[in-house]
Amino acid sequence: MDEPGTPEALKRQAGELLDLAAPAAGSTSELRPRTPVSAGFQASLFFAFLGTWTALLPATAITLALKVNQIDPAGKATSLSLVLGVGAFIALVAQNIFGALSDRTTSRFGMRKPWILGGMLTGTASLVLLAAAGSIPVLVIAWALTQLTFNILLAGLNPVIPDQVPRRQLGRVSGLIGITQVLSGVGGALLAQLFLPNLTAAILIPGAFLLGFVTIFLFVLRDRRTRREDVPRFNLLLFLKAFWTSPRKAPDFALAWLSRLLVTFGNTTLQNYQLYFLLDRFGFTQANVGSAVLLLTIIGAITTIPTSIILGRVSDRIDRRKLFVLLSACIIAVAHIVAAMAPTFAVFVIAAVVAGLAVGVYLAVDQALIVEVLPSRNDVAKDMGVLHLANVLPQTLVPVTAPLFLAIGGGMRNYAALFIGGAVISIAGAIINQFIKSVR
């Protein structure tokens, strides 16, 4: 216990006052959580997200495509587009709806637990249906249900950080959660390879991690609760209107949303077309390009993880967010330009290393910044669902706009123009972020 009047005591008291203080315009209007979350809580939340992504991402990247190829080898490209398209539409709207319902939940178990538990159980059941699907129509239904149920789960998990984590821990916790997708992308791919060609096992075994890790977190989480009398009566029109957050009333949230959309758009250009770029620029073939992609994925994980953890903590310590967002997004953009102009694969790998280091910083600090500018603590899950749109819309926008860049010079293969265009858009997003007023 610090002695009253000592520098350590004064510093601790000042930190508590910062967490209790009413935030500036554009950020959460109610009191922030002020009790530090324990290492055990952070670890259980980390593994809950890791289990969720480990069950979902391998299906997105590997096992779903193999399942389509198994069912319809002749028309696999068209069938896969159908399956993914329906699933993407479900993912686009599901988290918003269930996040808003989570904010209205008055269960005695809490606001988030019912949705986490329900999403976990129905998500696992969806994976069983996915593994058993024997036709394309059934696979379309199974993948749509998988996207629906996993977004129910995420609608409960995503608000936990703004619900539970005080301002002075946002960077470190956001950094931990930010790397779970990177880790599960690599770990899930390796796990799938371990069980292939047994597709049923490759789909279902990651679901066991989901059940185990999320169940542990449910026992650790001391959930927020809200009283029935504090929730307004349901009105469908008002419910739908709530998904629009006025930039005039929450300008900082609007700027953060637009910034995330543009930076994510820039990153998606390289992610979506990297494989084709490797084939056309460096002479890789269908037989060996998979090894190159795996190498780049591992490099991304190794470089992203340490900077996400370390710089997230530094951001907390010096109480600065925007500078880290600006520098990391600009470095990512420059690395993408270098990759686009790379004369050899070795130079492309160097660019990937630099980009990975910067991505780690961006994932941690931008997430912490966004939590600080959420418009209302009463609608945390709904607002996190609105933010979710900034993450998924580029998956639709990039394929629509990419042909405009690829067609420059003729031939539809100008990947350099696409990547450089994406880099410029990312820098624009980072600059927009600097106009946020309520966060340093």
277 and 247 assigned to the same domain? yes
Number of domains in the chain: 2
Domain assignment present for residue 21? The answer is: no
For residues 435 and 296, state if they share a domain.
yes
pLDDT tens figures, 311-350: 888 998 998 999 999 999 999 999 999 999 999 999 999 9
Out of 190, 223, 256, pick the residue that ends a domain. 223
Residue 342 CA to residue 336 CA, distance in Å, equals: 10
Query: Are residues 338 and 261 part of one domain?
Result: yes
Please enumerate, as own/partner, the contacts of 179-182 that have beta carbons within 8 Å and a separation of 24 or more.
Answer: 179/301, 179/304, 179/305, 179/308, 179/309, 179/360, 179/363, 180/46, 180/49, 180/50, 180/52, 180/53, 181/53, 181/57, 182/300, 182/301, 182/304, 182/305
Is residue 10 in a domain? no
Q: Are residues 270 and 134 in the same domain?
A: no
**Tens digits of per-residue pLDDT, 171-205?**
889 888 988 988 887 777 677 667 777 888 888 98
Q: Which residue has the higher pLDDT, 49 or 286?
A: 49
Q: Is the same domain home to 114 and 256?
A: no
pLDDT in tens, 386-421: 777 888 788 778 877 888 888 888 776 788 898 999
Q: What is the span of the domain harbouring residue 266?
A: 241-440
Is 262 a domain residue? yes
- CATH number, domain with residue 140: 1.20.1250.20
The 8-class DSSP code of residue 23 comes to P
Among 197, 223, 249, give the residue marking a domain's end: 223
Instruction: Note whether residue 439 is domain-resident.
Output: yes
Q: Is the pLDDT of residue 48 over 80?
A: yes
Better-scored residue on pLDDT, 334 or 246: 334
pTM comes to 0.73
Do 260 and 301 share a structural domain?
yes
* Domain annotation covers residue 190: yes
Whether residue 378 is found in the same domain as residue 412: yes
The answer to whether the beta carbons of residues 326 and 334 sit under 8 Å apart is no
The answer on 213 and 314 residing in a single domain is: no
Q: Does 205 share its domain with 254?
A: no
